[in-house]
Amino acid sequence: MADRQQTDPAPQWWSRPDGTTDARREGVPSPRPESATDGEAQDEVRPAPQDEAQDEAQGEAQGEARADAQAAVRAVRYDPWGDQPLHAVDRGRRGPGFRLWQVAALAAATALLAGGIGGYLGVLAERQSSTRLELPQAAVADKGRAPESVAGIAATALPGVVTLHVRGASSSGTGTGFVLDQQGHILTNNHVVADAKEIAVTFSTGESVTAELVGRDSGYDLAVVKVSGVRGLQPLSLGNSENVKVGDPVVAIGAPFDLSNTVTAGIISATGRPVTAGGDKGDGSDISYVDALQTDAPINPGNSGGPLLDAKAHVVGINSAIRGADKDDPARQGGSIGLGFAIPINQGKRVAEELIRTGRATHPVIGVTLDMQYTGDGARVGDKGEDGKPAVTAGGPAARAGVKAGDVITKVDGQRVRGGDELIIKIRAHRPGDPLTLTVLREGRERTLEVVLGSANGS
């Protein structure tokens, strides 16, 4: 079927390509009127009749011309209903597009993505930047400390404090000591080295050497060891325990639980505190009697034998014992509870001198045997001594002063005595040859007796 010619104006929703409106091939007739159909197009004016041959030739020529014209029209004119329109402008209803929530979600996702990328790039730039992040900090100050401060005391004393590692036949342990002189003598506790087979001494510098036992005394719980071939020893200065008052600041140095060079601080809590320690052997030979300085500076196992220092870094005591909670207390604390005890340095100095000279220490005595089962107030002289001997040694200091069996000693130099242990402690706080005043209760009456202390070899 031939194409139908359209001469009406073009619809508004399409347009022709530029330069194609009037383009016609030469000799192509104009479009036909609307009334003519594609298959019935005829010329409006027919030529005059001719002969049959001419008519036939003319008809064929016109038919060919008509076919060429129709082909040219089809090639030039644009068919809006064709498969491939040249231009299309749709002015009708628009599609749904993006809704408001979709736009908001897209914006939020874009912001999050941009923030994440920006943060990552910022961190990456910071790490790769040559500028280092520095927080505010105080400048380096003078590292010196006042001599009477804890830091100043520690700095003065630490070079003269040592840690002792002791190996015995069946056990080993750790303790502390301090240098007494340039000859290498070191003072420590007897219970630190009592069963030692090998003693190693480590200085605050980390240098470690072997030491030998010079002498020891279980009654005072003191011992002296010696190192050889060590240069640059720094002995500690000894103070005077008679000058110590309750409330004075003190510093303790030791190796609690093998933590060498540990420094703790506190005050003097009491003076003249009667303390007994030891007694593990069961026969009383290892019991020590100390007229101790009490301190709240933390002291723990390993501090034994270390120095207790005053504000001038002078040694005023030798840390020796602590008081823990009762063994049957379920909340018992094994370490320090603020009750530490130190042997006064005056007593330690005398014993150390004797141990260095002779290897043994002497004990002041009055020459009596005490009734340790007595539960009353004071220290009672027994009725009999060991092996049936008299309770008052004949010709001894007590016998010369007039003390008799059964007397109850209630005071020493005016200080109350509450039991036998306290009497021993009060006596051992003095030197042999010192005079004492004893208050004695006999047959309900108090008597005052003067006694000069004797001497006995220690163990």
Locate tokens 């001997």: which residue? 389
Alpha-helix residue ranges (DSSP H) falling in 237-320:
none
Is residue 290 within 8 A of residue 275, CB to CB? The reply is yes
CA atoms of 369 and 424, how far apart (whole Å): 11
Q: Could you confirm whether 165 is annotated as catalytic? A: no
CA atoms of 371 and 387, how far apart (whole Å): 14
Chain centre to alpha carbon of residue 162: 25
Residue type, 431: R
| From 165, 191, 363, 430, active-site residue | 191
| From 304, 310, 363, 371, active-site residue | 304
Q: Could you confirm whether 237 is annotated as catalytic? A: no
Hey, how many other C-beta atoms are within 10 angstroms of the C-beta on 379? 27
CA atoms of 7 and 397, how far apart (whole Å): 158
- First CA to last CA distance, the chain: 144
Contacts of 245 (CB under 8 A, 6+ apart): 268, 271
Single out the residue of 345, 224, 331 nearest to residue 291, CA to CA.
345
Single out the residue of 315, 333, 313, 314 nearest to residue 324, CA to CA.
333
Q: Judging by beta carbons within 10 Å of its beta carbon (0-12, 13-18, 19+), is residue 215 exposed, middle or buried? A: buried
Single out the residue of 203, 272, 231 nearest to residue 417, CA to CA.
272
| From 217, 218, 221, 320, active-site residue | 221
Q: Could you confirm whether 43 is annotated as catalytic? A: no
Hey, how many other C-beta atoms are within 10 angstroms of the C-beta on 378? 20
Reduced DSSP (H G I as helix, E B as strand, rest coil) percent helix, strand, coil of the chain, to 5: 25, 30, 50
**Angle subtended at Cα 221 by Cα 215 and Cα 226, rounded to the nearest 5 degrees:** 30
State whether the Cα torsion 415-420-421-424 is positive or negative: positive
Residues with catalytic function: 191, 221, 304
